[in-house]
Chains A and B, each alone.
Chain A
């Protein structure tokens, strides 16, 4: 059976909130190392990869591999009943047809309990190759969101150019052009505002802003976001969580004919 307790329901609430507009039905794959999810959007352009490691739960127990087939809209309805600070316990039998969720308030003796019906989901899994990216940019997640939303007002696509001079996000639209350039920057007092650019070779890639703006819904999970690029391969956008847990998004590039 599965028993996994989070000290703060907000972690799961934020994760589900960040991905529910990209994927509707998906499996939460549970094993002794934790709970993982890999799902593509309907157009097969974007992929979500979540790993909530066993260490992120206290306690965590999972005797056998269990796939929890969940409709994220339904899960959202149930999670809305949890306060951010509630402790959240997930429970399921070995061959479950429902997922039990318990929310416990720390402030008082209120306990709420829900059972969510599960579904059989035949999910297509993709093998994601280990990639040495040519450019790895770490920046405040709020800054990345701002750049993406600002540029989306002008264009459907953004071109990301990473060079020794910095990283430039630029777009061309019917009403005009826009560009934002960031350089490496260290803030000793507020490291969450740091911008770090690691580069082994220059990169230039174009992506759909619609998807990037969607990924930015995960900004609530982490002050910083890491974006990894190599020419002509999908972009990786990673929000790191505590205990090596993470939420990653991959986005296929737009390439000239």
Chain B
């Protein structure tokens, strides 16, 4: 089973 990640986990606030 895989879980959809969101982008916030990878891309931070600039």
Contacts and interface: CB of A to CB of B under 8 A. Distances in A.
Interface of A: 40, 43-47, 125-129, 157, 206, 208, 233-234, 250, 252-257
Contacts of B4: 45, 208, 252, 254
Given A44-B7, A252-B7, A252-B9, A126 B2 contact: no
A126 B3 contact: no
Nearest to B14: A127
B6 A126 contact: no
23 contacts: A40-B7, A47-B11, A125-B14, A126-B11, A126-B13, A126-B14, A127-B11, A127-B12, A127-B14, A128-B11, A129-B11, A157-B2, A234-B7, A234-B10, A252-B7, A252-B9, A252-B10, A253-B5, A254-B2, A255-B3, A256-B2, A257-B1, A257-B2
Contacts of A40: 7
A44 B6 contact: yes
Contacts, number: 55
Interface residues of B, number: 14
B10 to A, nearest CB: 5
A172 B3 CA distance: 16
Contacts of B6: 43-45, 252
B13 to A, nearest CB: 6
A45 B7 contact: yes
B12 A233 contact: no
